[in-house]
Amino acid sequence: MKRRDLLKGAAAIGGVVASAAPVVGLGAQRGAGPAQANQAGRRFRAFVRTNAGGSVQEVRMLPLRDNMVVIRTEATQCCYTIVNQALGTGVAGGAGGAVASRILGHGGVGIVDAVGPAVSRVRPGDRVLVTNTPNCGECYNCLRGRGDICQMNPSAGESLVPIGELADGTPVHQHNNTGGFAELMITFDWYCVPAQAAAPAAELAMLGCVGATGLGAVTTFVPVTFGESVVVMGAGPIGLSAVQGARIMGANPIICVEPIAERRELARKLGAHVVLDPNVEGDGLVAKIRGLLSGPPRRKLMGGRDTTPNSDSQGADFVVATVGADIVPPTVERGPDPTAIQPTLQAWEMTRAGGHLITLGLPRGNITLPAGAWSNRGRHHHAGQYGGVNAKSDLPRFISLIETGAFDAGSIVTATYPLEQTREAFQAVGDRTTVCAVVTFT
């Protein structure tokens, strides 16, 4: 089938037609309701977290704000960072302040169904990615090339906006002002990136957060150098995306460190030349990696490295730390440190003097480093929320990598679930029995 036909097919599934008209709800099969300009009263199902836990409930839309977009969700990815929110094992919360009820999610992919009158970037009928992190293009950070820390994010002080209410009148907000685990995402246009691709929705959805984080970290944020070494700590969806990004950039060798055997095999399949088990290597992991990367050539004046055993000149050119603290205890192989502090420190140590450390995980606690080496040994530390990605410029490139097969998102999306099984999906993610679970609506 031709690409154009596939795109037409995607629009047909959505039950919408492309239109330049900026305000009208189009009466879709799902989330149907009064087809009035402001969308008020439209009903849709969503996985909502309240103080009582998480469950699928019906939400009634409030009037659509002028600068917001209504998107019929096709797929959304279960991010490990919100496992406790979804399972009800943590206090209901998140960025943007305390709210009584919150549709969970880190964005997703879908078809624009209606737009407010102030929206000009997207139109009904467009397939878009809703990113976990906004990219307004106009704030202080966006203007300096750091869309990953765009200040329109609730984590940068933006308030969560109520977009609906439950049957009892409780106002409903959305995680990060995007939601995702709902038939409709109602968000600001600065979260939307065109995704006019024929790729499966479940694969595109992982670019809204984890896929772009790992892929972007090594391709656009800190582009790794052809022929140089990359170590990826952790083979979750971010780590496996980073492994593929390193492969695409021509890194050599690519080493992946991961406690779960199944994930190590996946890392090998997706481009890692060497895989290591941190539970086997223990405190010797850094020395092991330095040894693997010590040469040849072994003479300094022939381009070689210091041959002193365990010298920090022998470490990796690039290290990507993706390990996060355990939110719930895994039911499969556990890493050596549930806080992820140890692998984070090891990542810093195994970065060669003058090399690059990219940190993407969420360790818990504080770290202590040797001050002299931290100050003088030339390691560059790059801290990236959303992998340092500038969504509007980077995601179209990542989407094309999925379309051409250069980036194998399908191997990372290991399970799909319907909305009703959102809780089960997050349980599998928390147990670490699946790599990347996606809830689909089509």
Among 26, 78, 86, 139, binds Zn ion (CB under 5 A): 139
Nearer to Zn ion, 106 or 352 (CB): 106
The reply to whether 206 sits near Zn ion by the rule CB under 5 A is no
CB 209 → Zn ion: shortest distance, Å?
3
Closest separation in Å from C-beta 146 to Zn ion: 8
Task: Pick the closer one to Zn ion by CB: 39 or 84.
Answer: 84
Rank residues 150 and 184 by Cβ distance to Zn ion and give the closer one. Answer: 150
Type and span of the H or E element at 184: strand 184-188
| Binding residue (CB under 5 A) for Zn ion from 206, 209, 389, 436 | 209
Exactly one of 46, 79, 192, 358 binds Zn ion (CB under 5 A); that residue is: 79
Tokens 């972007």 sit at which residue? 216
State the number of binding residues for Zn ion (CB under 5 A).
8
Nearest distance, CB of residue 438 and Zn ion, angstroms:
12
Q: Is the peptide bond before 297 cis (omega within 30 degrees of 0)?
A: yes
Residue 145, sorted as left (phi over 0), alpha (psi -120 to 50) or beta, turns out to be: left
The CB-of-173 to Zn ion minimum distance in angstroms stands at 17
Residue of the chain from 142, 233, 409, 413 that contacts Zn ion (CB under 5 A): 142
185 binds Zn ion (CB under 5 A): no
106 binds Zn ion (CB under 5 A): yes
Window of 122-130, 138-146, 366-374, 387-395 that interacts with Zn ion by CB under 5 A: 138-146
175 binds Zn ion (CB under 5 A): no
Contact status, residue 44 vs residue 58, Cβ threshold 8 Å: yes
Beta strands in 29-131 (DSSP E): 43-50, 53-61, 68-77, 101-103, 108-115, 127-130
Q: Give the helix ranges, DSSP H, for 38-189.
A: 83-87, 140-143
> CB of 148: closest distance to Zn ion in angstroms?
10
Rounded distance between C-alpha atoms, residue 114 and residue 34, angstroms: 13
Interatomic CA distance for residues 184 and 128, integer angstroms: 13
User: Quick one: DSSP state of residue 65?
Assistant: P
Q: Which two tokens stand for residue 131?
A: 């990113």
What single-letter amino acid sits at 275?
Answer: V
Closest separation in Å from C-beta 328 to Zn ion: 16
Nearer residue to Zn ion within complex by CB, 69 or 255:
69
CB of 181 to Zn ion, least distance (A): 12
Give the per-residue contact string, 144-173, with Zn ion (x = CB under 5 A; - = no): ------x-----------------------
Return the H-helix or E-strand segment holding 238: helix 237-248
Q: Where are the alpha helices (DSSP H) in 278-340?
A: 278-281, 285-292
Which range binds Zn ion by CB under 5 A, 77-85, 294-302, 337-345, 396-404?
77-85
Q: Report the distance separating Cα 253 and Cα 359, nearest Å.
A: 19
Contact 124, 379 (CB under 8 A): no
Is residue 130 at the binding interface for Zn ion, with CB under 5 A as the rule?
no
User: What token pair was written down for 306?
Assistant: 């210091």
- Pairing label, strands 254-257, 274-276: parallel
Decide: is 136 part of the binding site for Zn ion (CB under 5 A).
yes
Least gap, CB of 82 to Zn ion (angstroms): 7
CA distance 78 to 439: 7
Q: Is 429 in the site for Zn ion (CB under 5 A)?
A: no
- The CA distance from 296 to 315, in Å, is 13
CB of 205 to Zn ion, least distance (A): 11
Is residue 231 at the binding interface for Zn ion, with CB under 5 A as the rule?
no
Of 142 and 347, which has the nearer Cβ to Zn ion? Answer: 142
Residues in contact with Zn ion by the rule CB under 5 A: 79, 106, 132, 136, 139, 142, 150, 209
